[in-house]
Amino acid sequence: MGFDAIYISPIPENAADGYHGYWATDFYSVNSNFGTASDLQALVKAAHDLSTWRLIINCCYCMYGITQVTCIHLPPLYICYILGMYVMLDTVANHAGPTVNGDYSGYTFNSSSLYHPQCDIDYTNQTSIEQCWVANNLPDIGKSSHYLNSCPCFE
pLDDT for position 144: 67
What is the residue-level pLDDT of the chain in tens, covering all 155 positions? Answer: 566 667 777 777 887 777 777 777 877 778 888 788 788 778 777 776 765 333 333 333 333 332 233 333 334 333 333 334 555 565 666 667 777 677 877 777 788 888 888 888 898 999 888 888 877 777 877 766 655 555 544 44
CA distance 31 to 50: 26
Residue 113: domain span? 5-154
Residues making up the chain, counted from first to last: 155
Buried b (16+ CB within 10 A) or exposed e, 4-36: eebebebbbbbbeebeebbbbbbbebbbeebee
Looking at the 3D structure of the chain, how many domains does it have?
1
pTM of the model: 0.54
Q: Which residues, in sequence order, are bridge partners of residue 58?
A: 76
pLDDT score of 95 = 67
Sign of the Cα torsion 127, 128, 129, 130 reads positive
Q: What is the pLDDT of residue 77?
A: 38
pLDDT score recorded for residue 149: 56
Write down the pLDDT at residue 125. Answer: 93
Alpha-carbon torsion (91, 71, 101, 146), positive or negative: negative
Q: What is the CA radius of gyration of the chain?
A: 17
Q: Read out DSSP for 36-67? A: -HHHHHHHHHHHHTT-S-EEEEEEEEEEE-SS
Contact 109/96 with Cβ under 8 angstroms?
yes
The CATH number linked to 123 is: 3.20.20.80
The string over 54-79, giving b where at least 16 C-beta atoms fall within 10 Å of a residue's C-beta and e elsewhere, is beeeeebbbbbeeeebeeeebbebbb
